[in-house]
Amino acid sequence: MAVLKTYVCDCCGAIKKESNAWYVIITTDYPESLTLTTFEAAKRRGIGYPRVDLCSRQCVAKRVEQFLEAASEGQHGRIDKAKEFSNG
């Protein structure tokens, strides 16, 4: 039996559909940095870092703004709702 995963935007709550172009922000062990990639690239690479799935450029912009604001307040650019993910 196949397992069907549902992906939800961590910014606005939209559900991923097959044709949607989504993005992923990956947080690393270095709290002052992040990586932005496409959803498909993250899926191909099996990204297992804490990550934020985002449905649009607008949601990416909101999360990057949150990162920059937190960094300017000395919080080392944290992003809320980063989660562990595995392709398993």
Q: What is the mean pLDDT for each group of 10 consecutive residues in the chain (88 residues)?
A: 82 87 82 83 80 92 87 67 42
Domain count across the chain: 1
H/E segment holding residue 26:
strand 23-27
Residue 67 forms part of a structural domain: yes
Residue 6 forms part of a structural domain: no
Domain that holds residue 66: 23-72
At 48, give phi and psi (nearest 5°): -115, 5
Residue 4 forms part of a structural domain: no
Residue 56 forms part of a structural domain: yes
At residue 31, the pLDDT reads 61
Residue 32 forms part of a structural domain: yes
Residue 53 forms part of a structural domain: yes
Residue 84 forms part of a structural domain: no
Residue 46 forms part of a structural domain: yes
At residue 57, the pLDDT reads 94
